[in-house]
Each structure stands twice: as C-alpha cells, then as structure tokens.
Structure 1
Amino acid sequence: MKYCTRCVYPEVAVNLSLDEEGVCSSCRSFEEFEALTPDFWAQRRKRFERIVDMILKNRNGGDFDCLIPVSGGKDSYYQTHIMATEFGLKPLLMTYHGNNYLPVADYNRDRMRHVFDADHIIYGPSVDVIKKLNRICFKKMGDMNWQAHCGIYTTPIQIAVKFNIPLIIWGETAWDLSGMHGPDDFVEFSARVRHEHSVRGYEWYDMLDDPEDPLTERDMNWAKYPTDEEIINVGVRGLYIGNYFKWDPNAHAKMAHEKYGWKMPSRPFERTYRNISNLDDRYENGIHDLLKFIKFGYGRASDHASKDIRTGYMDRETGVEMVRKYDDVVSDDLYYWLDYVEMREEEFWEIADRFRDPRVWRKDSMGNWVKDNLWD
C-alpha cells in the first residue's frame, strides 16, 4: 500500500489519488486553497452576499432566512455565527438525532438557541427503528451508522421544503478530504451527492427486506428525499460556506469556545488525539471509525493528522506517531454498541472481516490479518 509523501493518507482513501511525486490529491488541493490571498476571500464573501441576497429576494414567503443543519459541533457554531451574527439573518437550526450523542455534545447542541437568535428543530426516528438499522446496515454494507448519514442529509431538506426555506447552509466541501474540488468549482449540495456519497447508493426502501429486523415504509418516512417538484417549488439550494470563507476547524473551535462557551470533552477519545472533532456522535471517533480501519486500513487519527499536517499544526513525523498510536485501537464504545444492538463480539468480527479491502489486507501464515504500514 502506498502513502502520500506529505501527509499520512493511504492511496485507498476515498476518492484520493497520488501524483508522480507521491503527493495526494487532497494535499494538492490544499496547496491551491492555501495560496489564496485575504483579498480573494474578501471577494468570495461579497459573492456569497450577492447569492444570498438573490435567493432571499426571489423567495416565496417563509418565516426563516435560511436553514442550517447543525450537530452542535465547532463547525455548526461557525456556520451559525456567520449567518446569524455576522449577516444578521434569522436561521432555523435543524438537527438529526441518531440517539448517539455524548453528554458534552448534548450540552453544545442545546446551547445554540441560547447564544444565537435562532429557532431549533431536533428530529429523529424511534430508537427501535434506529437499533434495527444499526444491525441491518452493519450486515448490509459494513456501516452501522448509515442511519445517521441518511438522516443528516435528508431531514434538513424535508424541513426546508415543509417550512418553505430556499437556502440551506452546509459547512466544508469534499476537497478537505480527497481533493475532489478546487477553489473555482463552487460545489452545491445535490440529490446525486447525497445518494452516491452520503448514503452509499442505498435508499430507505433497501432497508425493508431484512427478515430478522423488519421495517415498514412508515418507519422510514424520515429517510425519504423530497421529490424534484417539491424542491423546485421552494427553490431549495444548498451552499457550502467552505467555498466562500477560509475553512480552519481548529480556529472554529477556538472561536466557538471563547465567544459562545462551546465545550470540549473532559476525557480524550481512544482512537484519535483530537478532542474537538465529531463530538456529537459517540461512534464517529469509535466503532464507526474502527470499521473504516477494518475495511481500508486507516482511521480517524489519519484523517486528523493529515489535516493538521497540511495546516501546519503538526509535522509529518508526529503524524506518523499519531497513526501508529491510535489507528488500530479497539475502543470501548464497541462494547457499548454490542450491548445496544444485542450482538455477540464474535458475530461482530465475523461480519466485519467480510468487508476488508483485498488491496489493503492479507492473512499471514498464522491466519492473522496484516497490511503494509506507513512506518514499515
């Protein structure tokens, strides 16, 4: 397995490619963004203002200026700060609740309507449905957290349609992970992006065929994407503010903490060194990420170290140490989840091993799974 010579990403990372110098597309895209001047971002802000003004002038009624999908994380605070505090708009905050919040994340999420002039809707399926989907999707695609991806990228569009809100404000674009897009691409949210990337090509009706965990169409109402006609009638557009404002997660955390009292967890995560990212989901830095490691041989520490190497918060040598220390850790939340869905650990590993990428993993003479490591 080959790794980027600048960051710590392997070539199998989603949508990533390595050039002739061994540098990954994400690092190359970051170079483009890093070369942009303060004047460039000032012009981008003006462009954003013009787009927002045009959308709001052409809207057909409605009580809110925009909808912001939020988890209560540092980036949620940054997005809402831009729209509510700097632009003075009246947003509707929308949270999909997948029944997996950590206590500090509950606090940060609920604090948002105390510190911003914004109404807040929290919407989630029944816990029984969520547990069934955890089991179904783990067996079907090796991702127990599919319900969260689906909910995050479906329920806000449903609410925008119901409340006649034409503008949805998302955060960063995909370039941050894979380098898919450059500064001039102006990517917008779409049904295609949701279907191909967020929900892995599956839809609500694909979840109705499991004999052990039966679900009905009514159970999956929250997962139904609005029709093209409904979206066009409202004029819903989803803008990524990462196209218009310089994106720096570490700076977002500092601002959210100092200005709005946003809190970090009191104890570190087991599978990464960062304590500012993915606080809303107890599994995102844990078992969900463990499954990514089982499949592709890299984890959340690789994601975080690669980003921090690019932005200058960490050198590559330290990044390698972070990957060595954290990427293969089996965190305690695995056992929390096994109890949650009533599954034996032996069954978990039997199913998880089916999803190992043969480009990455092989068995040694003792029958153990091994792979080529960054530090070998």
Structure 2
Amino acid sequence: MSVRFCQSCVLPDSRPGIEIGADGVCNACKGHSDNRSSIDWAGRGQALERLFRGAKARKAAYDCIVPVSGGKDSFWQVAKCLEMDMKVLAVTWRSPGRNALGQANLDRLVALGVDHIDFSIDPSVEARFMKKTLIETGSSAVPMHLAIFAIPMRIAVQMRVPLIVWGESPFMEYGGQKGDSDLDLLNHAWLKRHGILQGREALDWAGDELTTAELAAYCPPAEEEFRQAQVRSIFMGYYLQWDPAESLRVAEANGFRRRPEGPKIGLYDYADIDCDFISVHHWFKWPKFGFTRLFDNLALEIRNGRMSRDEALAIIGRLGDQRPDADIARACDFMGLSAAEFAALEEKFRDHDVWTARDGRWIIDGFPVESRDWPAVPMERAA
C-alpha cells in the first residue's frame, strides 16, 4: 500500500480516521475549513449555557465533573466552567508515570477553587496491564484511556453529578469515522466505536495476568445505569472553538507552567508533559502508522493559520522521529521489559504496508520530507 500525505496539512492516510480525497486534502482539514466556517458558534455557546443551567437546576452536590490531568486543556476547561458559575468536581486518573511538573501543575489547577479526586490504581496492576496491551496491540496506553474514561463516568453515577465536561472533540480536530454525528457526546456508543480502546472493553483483558477484580477500576458504569442516572457527557470543544494557543493563554494566566527543557515529543513544550509514559504511546505511531506526535501538532498549527505546510515540513526534517529514549527506559523498567524486548515489539508492530524494505533499510515511499538520515531505519538496527 502506498501512503498518501495530505497536501494541506502533513497527516498520512495511514493515520486512523484520516481519509484523503482526490483533491489531496484530508477529511480533518476539510472538516476544519468547511464545517467550522458554517458553525454557529454563538448558538452553540448558548446551547452550552442552557446545558449548564439545566445541570445547576438538578441541585446536586456538584454541577459537573471535569476530568483533568493538570495539562493546559484541563486548566481551560476548569476556568471556563468556573467562569460560568459551575460547581466543579475535578477528577483525575493518577498516572503511575506522573512527574514533578505534572504534580505541580495539578496542584495549581486545584487551587483555582475546585474539589478534586486523584484516583490511583494499584501500580502492580497498571504495570501488568500496560505490558499486556503493549505486547498484544502495540499500545501501552490502553489502560490509561480506559481509566480516563471510566473513572469520571463511575463517579458521576455514584455521586449523581449531572454533567461531565471533557475537552476537545477528537473527530472535529483529527478526523474520524463516517456517521460520527453526535460530535458533542462521549458516551458508551462513542467508546465502542473509537479505535483508541482497540475495540475491547476492560474485562476483555481478564485472564492469567489480570483478574476481573483487578480490572474493576477500568470499567465504566453499565450503559443502563448511566442512562438512569441521567448523566450527560459532553465535549466542550463541540460548543466552544478549540484552539491550543487560546487554551494555553488561559492556562498560563491561571498558573500553568510549561516544560522548561522544551518539547519532550511533538512540537509543544506544554503538551504531554505531566507523565513520563505518554510519550511511549505516541512513539508507537511511528512504526505502526508512519507518522509521529509532531505531525498531529503541526496539522493543527496549519489549520489554525499559524504555519504554512512548507514550514511544517522543515520542522519535521529538523526534529526527526524524536524517539523518547529516556521515557522508554522508564516505562520498560516499570513494566519489566528489557530494551531488547521493547525493540522486538517495535518491529513486531511495524506496518509493512507503510514501510518498505529497500537496500537494507526500512523506508516510507512518498514521505514528504527528503532527509539523508530519516525516515529510513537501518534494518540491522531494527533487528
């Protein structure tokens, strides 16, 4: 299979959810330029206000739950909810890879004036679960995403909180499946059809390594239970225009701090900085799909008019694949994997429809950047 790269941004059609038309432009770019220009943002803002008024009318202990990590988007979500006079319960799945900067930013977020639940899962369970999903699917982040979604949903049901306010709408920002019409909702139907969970529920992972009891924290409430509790679970990015630059401005005005060493992976020194394991998840996009976190970031910059495609390609050529060696070592130590075992997994999940073996190297035909050193990967190193 020949990989095609969008001629408007830089994303390949090997990225899940991306389709490139005959005009060479991907569906995410078309959705951004066509749909957003016709969206009645004032009307959607008013709809959000009505949702918030309805939630407050329920007179629960909290008007809404905001799932937070301590990143810039969390600050933006919380600040917006507080600005609209919502009583917020912030809920966090505590990553076993949380670092000092992540903790400091989370502390500053809570200091904005919210109650907060910091939910930890047994680290031995997390380690075994991460290792299992990495070996079977090439993603160490399946447990993370299961927990991020399930924990706030369960707490909302148990505490009768009427509304959960998530951040960006992934389909609107990155493209998605045809038929994704409920772009505002993160519910059971959304969880079932979106690829980040590998098409499996938490209990599907039970077996010799993990018991059903150990996986309980990763399970959302039953769909009927969620419906009976009358919890609404929305993407704020559907109702308010989502822009990383604006959310960063709001976050920094409220105490958020960037990574002083610069970007860890990708373009931004303010993204994916709270956890030392998330970069390992992003890294596997490279062998599996032939793009990196950097491509996602640059695509957003192009769509928001802050960068040309040529400028983005120059940055890709300069930064290379950004293999996060230090974080890989930390994650391997946590999971109990050797460096050789990790390297073998990189090759296990290399997609041969994306990568072509030629002259002793793996290459990507049609890659939009001409570079002497990459994206070619020496096969002897890969082995």
TM-score normalised by the chain length of structure 2: 0.90
TM superposition shift of 1:182: 11
> Relative to 1, partners in 2 of residues 1:365 and 1:343: Cα closer, same or farther, differing over 3 Å?
same
- The residue aligned with 2:51 is 51
Q: Percent identity?
A: 26
- The residue aligned with 1:274 is 268
Of residues 13-22 and 269-278 in structure 1, the stretch that sits farther from structure 2 once superposed is 269-278
TM superposition shift of 1:70: 0.7
| 1:45-84 to 2 correspondences below 5 Å | 45-57=45-57, 59=58, 62-84=60-82
Gaps of 5+ in 2: 371-383
Check if 1:92 corresponds to 2:70. Answer: no
- The residue aligned with 2:42 is 42
Check if 1:303 corresponds to 2:296. Answer: yes
1:250 maps to a residue whose letter is A
Counterpart pick for 2:147 among 151, 164, 187: 151
Q: Distance in 2 between matches of 1:136 and 1:50?
A: 43
Q: Distance in 2 between matches of 1:133 and 1:183?
A: 30
- The residue aligned with 2:185 is 188
TM superposition shift of 1:32: 2.5
Check if 1:27 corresponds to 2:11. Answer: no
TM superposition shift of 1:224: 1.5
Q: Distance in 1 between matches of 2:111 and 2:368?
A: 45
SS at match of 2:91: strand
Moved over 6 A (4+): 181-184
Instruction: Give the conservation status (yes or no) of the 8 Å contact 1:44–1:244.
Output: yes
1:81 maps to a residue whose letter is A
Q: Distance in 1 between matches of 2:56 and 2:320?
A: 45
- The residue aligned with 2:252 is 257
Of residues 182-191 and 240-249 in structure 1, the stretch that sits farther from structure 2 once superposed is 182-191
Counterpart pick for 1:130 among 126, 130, 133: 126
Q: Distance in 2 between matches of 1:152 and 1:183?
A: 21
Check if 1:242 corresponds to 2:244. Answer: no
Q: Distance in 2 between matches of 1:181 and 1:170?
A: 22
Q: Distance in 2 between matches of 1:342 and 1:188?
A: 37
- The residue aligned with 2:314 is 321
- The residue aligned with 2:353 is 359
Q: Distance in 2 between matches of 1:192 and 1:325?
A: 41
Q: Distance in 2 between matches of 1:304 and 1:7?
A: 10
Gaps of 5+ in 1: none
- The residue aligned with 1:11 is 13
1:26 maps to a residue whose letter is A
TM superposition shift of 1:106: 1.0
TM superposition shift of 1:166: 1.6
Instruction: Give the conservation status (yes or no) of the 8 Å contact 1:33–1:182.
Output: no
Q: Distance in 1 between matches of 2:251 and 2:357?
A: 46
Q: Distance in 2 between matches of 1:112 and 1:281?
A: 16
Counterpart pick for 2:332 among 316, 328, 338: 338
Q: Give a deviation string over 1:166-187, Cα, whole Å, max 9, x none.
A: 2100111121011658998543
Q: Distance in 2 between matches of 1:182 and 1:225?
A: 24
Q: Distance in 1 between matches of 2:314 and 2:332?
A: 30
Instruction: Give the conservation status (yes or no) of the 8 Å contact 1:289–1:299.
Output: yes
> Relative to 1, partners in 2 of residues 1:121 and 1:270: Cα closer, same or farther, differing over 3 Å?
closer
Instruction: Give the conservation status (yes or no) of the 8 Å contact 1:270–1:326.
Output: no
Check if 1:232 corresponds to 2:260. Answer: no
RMSD across aligned positions (CA): 2.0
Counterpart pick for 1:168 among 164, 168, 171: 164
Check if 1:101 corresponds to 2:95. Answer: no
- The residue aligned with 1:312 is 305
Q: Distance in 2 between matches of 1:34 and 1:232?
A: 30
> Relative to 1, partners in 2 of residues 1:145 and 1:200: Cα closer, same or farther, differing over 3 Å?
same
> Relative to 1, partners in 2 of residues 1:181 and 1:103: Cα closer, same or farther, differing over 3 Å?
farther
Q: Distance in 2 between matches of 1:51 and 1:103?
A: 36
> Relative to 1, partners in 2 of residues 1:160 and 1:36: Cα closer, same or farther, differing over 3 Å?
same
- The residue aligned with 2:286 is 293
Instruction: Give the conservation status (yes or no) of the 8 Å contact 1:29–1:181.
Output: no
TM-score normalised by the chain length of structure 1: 0.91
Q: Give a deviation string over 1:69-109, Cα, whole Å, max 9, x none.
A: 1111111111111111x211101100011211232111111
Q: Distance in 2 between matches of 1:204 and 1:126?
A: 15
- The residue aligned with 1:140 is 136
Q: Distance in 2 between matches of 1:73 and 1:154?
A: 19
1:188 maps to a residue whose letter is L
Q: Distance in 2 between matches of 1:163 and 1:206?
A: 27
- The residue aligned with 1:347 is 341
Q: Distance in 2 between matches of 1:179 and 1:125?
A: 30
Check if 1:200 corresponds to 2:194. Answer: no
| 1:104-115 to 2 correspondences below 5 Å | 104-115=101-112
Q: Give a deviation string over 1:150-201, Cα, whole Å, max 9, x none.
A: 1101100011011111210011112101165899854311112223324221
Instruction: Give the conservation status (yes or no) of the 8 Å contact 1:293–1:327.
Output: no
1:271 maps to a residue whose letter is I
Instruction: Give the conservation status (yes or no) of the 8 Å contact 2:193–2:199.
Output: yes
Instruction: Give the conservation status (yes or no) of the 8 Å contact 1:167–1:238.
Output: yes
